[in-house]
Structures are given as C-alpha cells and as structure tokens.
Amino acid sequence: MSVTVVLAHSGKCIELECTPHTRADAVQAALAQLTGIEQADQILMHGGNRVDGAKTLAQYNLPEDPASAQPVFLYSRRLMRPGTPAPPLDPVPETHVQYPAPQSWSAPGAGVGQWEPGTDFIPILESQLEAATAIWQASQQRVAAAAQYLGEVEAQGLSVDAACTNVELHYPKTAAAWEEFSTRFASQHAAAEEALARFDSDAAYLESTPLHPALARAGPLRSLADLTDLCALRGTCTSLRSGAPALAARVRDAAGVFEALRREVEALLLAAPSVDLPGLGAALQAAGAGLAEQAGLVDAVARDARDARRASGGG
C-alpha cells in the first residue's frame, strides 16, 4: 500500500510504498532523498496530529484505504520561519503551435479567394484540419497544465487547513498552560521578594529573641537564631537576591516569545485566503468545455476533408 505525502510549500504530491510496520523516520529518510528537505527540518502531520518519527505508521492508521485516505503533509521548518523567502516557482512550460503553410483559395486564372469550377479544396481542408488540430492540442496542453497547477494550489490550501487545525487543537492548551504558569509565577515571585526584603529584620529578630530558660539550660542556646543555621540561610538569601532578577528577566523573555506566538496564531487564523479556488475551478471547467467545442470543430473539419477526398475519388 502507499501513502500520499503533500509538500506544503509547493502542493506537489509524492507516493511512497509503505506498510503499517514502517517507522515514520524511515518515511522521513525517504522524503529527505526525494525532496532535499533534511529530516531535522521536516514536520509531518496527519489527521491534525504531528507524526512522531519513532512510531510506526500503524499507530497513525496508515496506510489507509485509498478511497478514504487522508494525505500526510510535509512542512519545512526553514520555510516557515518569519521572513524566509518563498521557494522559487516551477517555470510554466511553453506551448508551441505548429501551423501548416497557408493554402491558396484560388484556382488557376481566378483571383485570390474566388472559387472557380475545378478548384481543389482538399489541400485547403487538410491545411485547416492541421491548423485546428495544432490549436486543439496546444489548448489541451495548456488546460492540463492549468489543472495541475490548480491541483497543487488546492493541495497547498489543504496543508494550510491542516496546520490551522493543528493550531486550533493545541494552541488553547498552550495558552492555558502559559496563563497558569504566569499567574503562579507572579504570585510566588511577589511572595519571594517580600520574604527576601524582610529577611534581615527577621534574622535580627531571631538573634534578639532569647530562648526560654528551660531551653537555654539544655545546651549552648541563647536565642531563637541558635535553633537554625542562620549562616546558611544568609547564604541562600544572598544567592536568591542575586538570581531573582535573572529569573524574572527570563520569564519576561518567555512572555515576549509567547506574545509573538499569540500574534502569529491570530494572524494565521484570521488571514483570508488570497486565491479564489472556486473561481479558478469554474474557469477550468469552462476551459474544458471550450476544449470539447474545439474537438467538435476538429471532427467537423476532418469529416469535411474525408468527404472531399471520397468525392474526388481519393478514397
């Protein structure tokens, strides 16, 4: 069985022969050879979930029944980084139309375009048939190329939808986790700052508060400070005071990263499609109808040429 892999940046499709026991990293290795996208740069997604290279395809219900199979989308980390230029587009193949040499419509002794008895129309009809056939074949090539490009654009649209689905699935969890962390950190950081701010006064209070005489007689204990390792506490306090600003700065940096992520997610989910796929599909259907009309004209000219040959005794 095979798995269809859609390249998100181009819309092109790759068919890979696989079994349910094939590991996803083996698929990635094959894709690296076929596409030039290194494994470390690949992100594979299927059914809205990211594919783990250490798992087998069976764990993602792959390969699937061809009638209902969903493609695997391949994304390049490098191409998804902000500011990265889009890869170059494939050149549009040129279509050449080979027109036959024009034939004269005049008989010997008659003006151009004038019909005289005895005029041989067979070369004219055959010339028209060659021209009509050349135009029809060129149109077929153009419509086929347009259909291919439209299919690739539709595949790119599906890859965008898959990415959006993944974001919609996982981003709320990420946002909730960040909100919970931010709230907890703010509370704990404020409590820590308050404790560090009053440490010196608390330590002085411990040192100045004498113990009950009964406790003092039990050993060399004079104040509450003697019940703990105040020296170690002072060292911890000094370390926390020096490290707290760096920790707060790291959290602020993380907040900036998350804010940038939030803006990118909103831009992704709110971005309107820039390609009118239904309109392009309708135009392609109209072009297909035009091809059918051209085919009818070619058949009509071919029949006229055959009739003319039979009438002239040429078979």
Domain contains 110: no
d(C-alpha 207, C-alpha 201), whole Å: 10
Query: Does 90 fall in a domain?
Result: no
Q: What is the pLDDT of residue 134?
A: 86
In this predicted structure, what is the pLDDT of residue 110? 47
Q: Are residues 57 and 100 in the same domain?
A: no
> Which residues on neighbouring strands pair with residue 46, listed in sequence order?
49
| The model scores a pTM over 0.85 | no
Read off the tokens for 187.
């509370």
> Whole-angstrom Cα distance, residue 215 to residue 225?
13
72 found inside a domain: yes
In this prediction, the residues of the chain whose per-residue pLDDT falls under 70 are 66-68, 99-121, 215-219, 268-273, 313-315
Statement to judge: residues 155 and 68 lie in one domain:
no
The closest alpha carbon to 22, from 47, 44, 41, belongs to 44
Q: What is the pLDDT of residues 242-300, one digit of tens each?
A: 999 999 999 999 999 999 888 888 776 666 557 778 888 899 999 989 999 989 988 98
User: What's the burial of 197, exposed, middle or buried (CB within 10 Å: 0-12/13-18/19+)?
Assistant: exposed
Whole-number Å distance between alpha carbons of 16 and 23 = 13
Are residues 155 and 24 part of one domain?
no
Instruction: Name the residue range of residue 68's domain.
Output: 2-80
Residue 210 DSSP SS3 = strand
Domain CATH number, residue 49: 3.10.20.90
In this structure, are 248 and 192 located in the same domain? yes
